[in-house]
Structure 1
Amino acid sequence: MTIGAGTDEGAQEAWRAVRDDSDIQFEPLPPPEMPETPAWLRAIAEFLAEIFAPLAHAFVGAWPVLQWVLVAVGVILLVLLIARILGVPLARLHGKAPKDEPDLVPDREEAQSLLSDADALAAQGRYGEAVRLLLARSIRQIAHRRPDLVQPSSTARELSRIEALPEAARRAFSAIARAVERALFALEDLSERDWHEARAAYADFALEGR
């Protein structure tokens, strides 16, 4: 019992010594005073409240109608997005065919003349020259009918992405572009198979397209 009492007394004295130490803060600190809002800032807030309060009331009142307008706009945007992904021309969505669109398919005689000249090169094993001839003259044919689509710097790969061109034309330019790029940048000699693929793509556009 004596040991326990001595221990309790020692603890109490130690506690009082700590409490009496003026260097230790035991009382809670008062909260810091909030800085006063500047007058200019209060003036701006009041000005904005006067402007936007009527707009907020009007928005709340018009919300029953506005929500359906937003839904309709969302549906229209969704339809346009799906049409763009699927490659459907916008004119087709309205049930109208484009007016005054020039026929981009070359004349049969013109196309056959080009294929004849290219075939002559291919018959000599000059497949790269034959493919480049297809590329140059087919671009010239498109430029003659739609000069707004073809710029002097236009490449076959760029033309293959122009939505105004028929799908067969884009496929033709894409096939020819792959072959020409391999020949130019990979320094590969084009094979007979490369030539036949490019020729078939052009013929599908220029001849079968009619």
Structure 2
Amino acid sequence: MDAWRAVRSDSDIQFAPIAQPDPPQTPEWLRALGEFLVDLLGPVARLFVAAWPVLMWVLIAIGVALLVLLIVRIFDIPVLKRRSKASDQAEDALPDRAEAEALLSDADALAAQGRYGEAVRLLLARSIGQIANRRPDLVHPSSTARELSRLDALPDAGRRAFAAIARSVERALFALEDLTERDWTEARAAYADFALERG
């Protein structure tokens, strides 16, 4: 008990509670700024809270899409590349427009003289050369027009052109038939659809 009294009577030790100082007053400019921000951003915050159920699913969908895109890029999965690559290859196979127009002009001159078979054969020979120049991987010395008409690397118009031209040339060579103006017109139209096609 004496020890307790000794501690309590020691003036260096404080036992009575200290009155807390008044909190600092918020400056008027800061209070005005706070009220302005509440007025400005309050409606946006309330709208955000009201739209949160929908917004949450939108954000989840965006997150999933980004995750899928990241996986596709990391593992180099050709999801979107296939179409664009095929489209680029088809564009690469198109002959130069000036060359195509020059070939059509030369073939038209033969056809104007009634030499339809020669005009169609000229279309075939030079169009194969044009493809070989632009895509040497597609044309080999043993390639035939029928083989070219089945190449996936050519656009549909190119396959149709080689099929139409091949039919006419085969009839002229193997059936020994004279080609008519109609044969020439069909072959020319098929080649023009292919050679002058631009995306």
Give the TM-score category using the shorter length: 0.5 to 0.7
109, 115, 123: which one aligns with 2:98: 109
Residue 146 of structure 1 pairs with residue 135 of structure 2: yes
In structure 2, give the amino acid aligned to 1:159.
Answer: L
TM-score relative to the length of structure 1: 0.54
Determine the C-alpha separation between the residues in 1 that align with 2:126 and 2:165: 12
Contact 1:168 1:209 in 2 (8 A): no
Q: Which runs of 5+ in 1 are unaligned?
A: 1-92
Listed as ranges, the matches of 1:44-55 within 5 Å are: none
Listed as ranges, the matches of 1:1-210 within 5 Å are: 94-96=79-81, 97-98=84-85, 101=89, 103-210=92-199
**Structure 1 residue 103 displacement after superposition:** 1.5
State the secondary structure of the residue aligned to 1:189.
Answer: coil
Residue equivalent to 1:72: none
State the secondary structure of the residue aligned to 2:193.
Answer: helix
Runs (4+) of structure 1 exceeding 6 A deviation are: none
Number of residues paired by the alignment? 118
**Structure 1 residue 114 displacement after superposition:** 0.2
**Structure 1 residue 208 displacement after superposition:** 3.0
Q: Which runs of 5+ in 2 are unaligned?
A: 1-77
**Structure 1 residue 164 displacement after superposition:** 0.9
CA RMSD of aligned residues (A): 1.7
